[in-house]
């Protein structure tokens, strides 16, 4: 298939583009290469993709309405995987306009491109952050999620609503994926595992929020990629049993679907850090801090729908995942692997 992957120089977009190319798809990778984090890391990811005969890179911002319209008119994509977004919960508190430009304005431009050029299936990245003030565990796509606690989460919930509108009005098949704390090789420097690893190796203290009383459904990148590929290949059907008297948020009479992709096994943050310390052979200096604005104490994904409908459930252990990340980190930075 001919697939547009937005955010192709990003963490998940890079891995996903690589997987599509390996199975023989044609991939157009779009990225704005903004400087939210080290652009050299983004370029290093891209260098793994460029030169492959079925990959082409387009430097473009989703918020560029004319550029996006021209791209869709020119390329005639069959499927679209949207991973381009301004990421980060804490950064959204400091820079709200960046999130609206990328995650809302940019997403409208993407929806319009899909609508006008007969895209068979749009899959887009949502986030576990949409669960906000919800405390019922595990988090289910069948739960109401009307109480986000960061602008980032609000923009992701907005994406879900916007996608449903286009599915209903224009018959655009759309699927949203709520990712749960993705980690692994080539990961983002602003995420905990990358920051912790860098600090520990440099004998710097690591910041531990909520005094370590946190649990996260850490999900390894290979599991995310496998789940995404299976979902992209499965165009959603309308739910003929859907009831307006008791509306299910995850399905619709339109061709629209939501899934969680998480490890379904939340891990205590302190255990996560202990596992990293073992992999590095060094003990972290710990700076215990209160909870940060916009953060939640725990995440835990119900993945029953994903398992039932695309026959997949993430299963990489924290020990294996962190070990693979540490090996990549040392190789990437030219450190001693012994």
Give the active site residues: 152
Which residue shows structure tokens 């020990």?
319
What percentage of the chain's residues is helix, strand, coil (to nearest 5)?
45, 15, 40
Q: Which two tokens stand for residue 170?
A: 């224009």
Between CA 324 and CA 101 the distance in angstroms is: 35
CB under 8 Å to 42, separation ≥6 — which residues?
9, 10, 31, 33
Residue 51: count of CB within 10 angstroms of its CB: 7
Is the distance from CB of 166 to CB of 160 less than 8 angstroms? no
Between CA 206 and CA 69 the distance in angstroms is: 44
Is the distance from CB of 252 to CB of 167 less than 8 angstroms? yes
Helix, strand, or coil here: 184?
A: coil
Strands 121-127 and 174-179: parallel
């Amino acid at each position: 298939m001919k697939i547009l992957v937005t955010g192709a120089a990003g963490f998940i977009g890079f891995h996903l583009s690589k997987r599509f190319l390996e199975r023989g798809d044609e991939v157009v990778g779009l990225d704005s290469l903004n400087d939210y984090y080290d652009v050299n890391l983004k370029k290093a990811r891209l260098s793994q993709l460029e030169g492959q005969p079925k990959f082409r890179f387009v430097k473009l911002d989703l918020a560029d309405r004319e550029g996006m319209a021209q791209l869709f008119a020119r390329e005639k994509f069959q499927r679209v995987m949207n991973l381009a977004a301004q990421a980060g919960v804490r950064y959204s508190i400091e820079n709200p306009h960046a999130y609206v430009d990328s995650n809302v304005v940019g997403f409208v431009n993407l929806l319009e491109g899909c609508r006008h050029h007969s895209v068979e299936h749009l899959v887009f990245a949502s986030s576990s952050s949409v669960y906000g003030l919800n405390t019922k565990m595990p988090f289910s796509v069948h739960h109401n999620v009307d109480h986000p606690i960061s602008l980032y989460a609000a923009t992701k919930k907005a994406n879900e609503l916007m996608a449903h509108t286009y599915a209903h009005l224009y018959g655009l098949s759309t699927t949203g994926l709520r990712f749960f704390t993705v980690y692994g090789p080539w990961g983002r420097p602003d995420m905990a595992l990358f920051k912790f690893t860098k600090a520990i190796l440099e004998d710097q203290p690591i910041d531990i929020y909520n005094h370590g009383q946190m649990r996260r459904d850490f999900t390894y990148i290979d599991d995310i990629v496998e789940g995404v590929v299976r979902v992209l290949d499965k165009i959603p059907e309308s739910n003929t049993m859907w009831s307006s008297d008791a509306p299910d948020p995850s399905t619709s009479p339109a061709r629209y679907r939501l899934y969680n992709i998480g490890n379904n096994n939340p891990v205590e943050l302190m255990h996560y850090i202990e596992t990293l310390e073992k992999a590095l052979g060094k003990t972290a200096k710990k700076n215990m801090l209160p909870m940060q604005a916009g953060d939640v104490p725990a995440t835990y994904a119900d993945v029953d729908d994903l398992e039932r409908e695309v026959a997949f459930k993430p299963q990489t252990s924290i020990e294996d995942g962190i070990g693979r990340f540490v090996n990549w980190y040392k190789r990437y930075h030219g450190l001693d692997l012994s």
